[in-house]
Amino acid sequence: MNNEPVKILVAEADMSICEIIKLGAIDQGWAIDEARDGIAAIKLLRRKTYQLIILSCELPTIDGGIVLELTREQVRCPVIFIGKSGAEEDRLAAFEAGGNDYLQKPFFPRELFVRMRNLLSIFGIYYQKREEFTAGPIRIERHSRSVFIGDRRLELTSREYNLLLLLCSNPGRAYSRDALLNSAWGSSFEGGDRTVDTHVKSLRKKLSPYQDCIKTVWGYGYKFEE
């Protein structure tokens, strides 16, 4: 039985969409590569093997349909197209290019991940969700959405948990306030910087005495350091 994480390529120019997908993938224990344009996607597909691909129809330089046509020999896994159009001809074009599913933007993240799991199951790809991991003094149990420091369980809100999960899963990586807002609240939420700052302030208090693990990146956002 293969215990390696499922490897997924997300080819999408919109960083907020990528962050939402990444947050869900982290929760599943999957490994993610990102491409912001068609050329980058082609290079990754020719160098690496993936178990699933999420491909935007509106990629810069080379659109998603052409990317897939140019990499047919390398791609041996399910492909989900995501696109702005809901028109029948655009959906059909995605399937004719070799896609296995199509989802119109904006979409519900949970729907996307159900579709991803279904395709992985249909294609016989085994995956095992990593239920627990640690980042510095913090231990996160995904199955119960519980967070511990030592034996002490933290009482976090759903938003605080989502923020902490994203930050802890990528130590050292700086996230903009917009990316954190989109990941924890969803792209349709009409909040702002103060919403993120308020929740980070509350989260830091609950992480005491390790509140300094969440660092402020001035003029940008936040990052987690072990």
Q: 3-state secondary structure string, 117-133?
A: HHHHHHCCCCCCCCCEE
Burial label, 76 (beta-carbon count in 10 A; 0-12, 13-18, 19+): exposed
Instruction: Please state the separation of Cα 208 from the chain's center in Å.
Output: 28
Q: How confident is the model at residue 4 (pLDDT cuts 50, 70, 90)?
A: low
Is pLDDT of 189 > 60?
A: no
Q: Provide the 10 A C-beta neighbour count for residue 73.
A: 8
Is pLDDT of 125 > 80?
A: no
108-117 long-range Cβ contacts below 8 angstroms, 24+ apart:
109/20, 109/21, 109/23, 109/24, 109/186, 110/24, 112/21, 112/24, 112/54, 112/80, 112/82, 113/24, 113/28, 115/80, 116/8, 116/52, 116/54, 116/80, 117/28
Q: How confident is the model at residue 129 (pLDDT cuts 50, 70, 90)?
A: low
Quote the pLDDT of residue 159: 86
Quote the pLDDT of residue 156: 92
Q: How confident is the model at residue 1 (pLDDT cuts 50, 70, 90)?
A: very low
Selected residue with higher pLDDT from 96 and 1: 96
Min mean pLDDT across 59-73, 123-137, 207-221 is at 123-137
- Return mean pLDDT, the chain: 85
Quote the pLDDT of residue 6: 84
Condensed to tens digits (0 to 9), the pLDDT of residues 145-182 reads 889 998 899 999 988 988 888 888 778 888 888 878 77
Name the maximum alpha-carbon separation found in the chain.
57
Instruction: Tell me the whole-structure pTM to 2 decimals.
Output: 0.60
Sign of CA dihedral 14, 20, 22, 25: negative
Selected residue with higher pLDDT from 6 and 67: 67
